[in-house]
Structure 1
Amino acid sequence: MKRFIYSLLLLSGLTTGAMAQSAQYQDAMSKQTSDLDSGYVFTPDGLQQKANTFERIADAEKSQWLPYYYAAYCNIMHAFLLQDKSKIDPLADKAEASLDKAEALSPKNSEIACIRSLIASARLTVDPMTRGMKYGMEAGQQIQLAKTYNPENPRVYMLLGQSFLFTPEQFGGSKVKAKENLEVAVQKYAAFKAESPIVPHWGELYTKELLSKAQ
């Protein structure tokens, strides 16, 4: 009987500890994701600080894919802001390493595939003439994978629309196709119901800006 009671107390203690850890994780992630789209965060320094913070959370919560995902997101967004092209590949490497860890925890994930597409696009910008074919193809393949994994993901259509909008027509760009995909993205954003405050939700305002350019 004593052993049974001890087992119950031990189980209760473990459950309470897990709940506290989960609440701490949720609080930390909510704090870091709540202002992720803010202008003051979207600077090289701001994004670097965010990436570092998400990496620390990931180190503490090794069973969670989202901190690795957000670390990758911040690093690759940072890369797109850089004028010094020599710094892009190292940031892309860091983002890729984080995504590998995220994907090990959450395979066939549409959000992860979207970031992989962005990583390929960032690498392409280092030298479009020599890297265009390789990384342009990779970026497109990752978007298609993201669409296959979750056709309701609005970021899939935002990235497709962005690609069509900024690609020259002689290489497959089209304002018409950009507009079509961006309109779908807006609809998907409107229909999106977040299962928690910390899941990916970025891109809606940017999609609307792109759509105005594609009109």
Structure 2
Amino acid sequence: MLTGITIAANAQSEQYQDAMKQQVGLLDSSSTYSAAGMQQLANTFERIAEAEKTQWLPYYYAAYCRVNEAYMAKDKSKVDGLADKALLNIEKALALRGKDAEISCIQSMISSARIAVDPMTRGQQYGPESGAFLEEAKQLDPGNPRVYMLQGQSLLYTPEAFGGSKAKAKETFEVALQKFAAFKPESAIAPNWGEAYVKQLLAGIK
């Protein structure tokens, strides 16, 4: 009887791995890099998460897609709703995984997304919150390239009067690229996004 259960579990985990590989492969594709593309991917990751309730990665990726959808939203009144969905997913990932640099990075992105609704009034609250999550991520995993990518992005888009700077952003992106060169993801479906985006932002600065 146990053998049957093991075979079923292995088949299920293989099916899970295949489904995840396919979706994760789409994350860096230009065809999905739009609000509609991110929404579609988020929906798929949420369906996988519901089927695989013990796995943290589908919730993590669903949160990643939702927060990107929030960044891309033309209608600012939709941002908080999308950020809330991202938060719900990342909290589920956190409950399964525990503290993790990748999760802290998404939490930072969610705080940053909320600033865009009204930068003048929200910057004071969500700016420090976003920065605190990145500091937490850096402490959890100093080698994680996404920490430096997000710090660089923050420096690039923060006005100089509030501590932003293209020169500092450029330096931070260069550190991110060094970290990417040394980074080894835990598995074929573990977080490994961002390098192409850093190169794109760097090219824009130069």
Q: How does 1:97-116 map to 2 (within 5 A)?
A: 97-116=88-107
User: 2 CA distance for matches of 1:193 and 1:131?
Assistant: 36
Q: Which residue matches 1:94?
A: 85
Alpha-carbon deviations, 1:112-143, whole Å to 9, x = none?
11111111111010011111100001110011
Q: Tell me the amino acid that sits aligned with residue 156 of structure 2.
A: L
1:80 maps onto 2:68 in alignment = no
Identity %: 60
User: 2 CA distance for matches of 1:47 and 1:210?
Assistant: 20
Match of 1:148 among 108, 133, 139: 139
User: 2 CA distance for matches of 1:197 and 1:115?
Assistant: 19
Unaligned regions of 5+ residues in structure 2, if any?
none
Q: Max radius of gyration: which structure?
A: 1
CA drift of 1:174 comes to 2.1
Match of 1:138 among 106, 121, 129: 129
Q: Which residue matches 1:62?
A: 53
1:13 maps onto 2:9 in alignment = no
Superposition RMSD in Å:
1.0
- What is the total number of aligned residue pairs between the two structures? 206
Q: How does 1:122-133 map to 2 (within 5 A)?
A: 122-133=113-124
Q: Which residue matches 1:5?
A: none
Query: TM-score when scaled to structure 1?
Result: 0.93
Unaligned regions of 5+ residues in structure 1, if any?
1-9
Q: Which runs of 4+ in 1 moved over 6 A?
A: none
1:62 alignment partner, SS class: coil
Q: Which residue matches 1:52?
A: 43
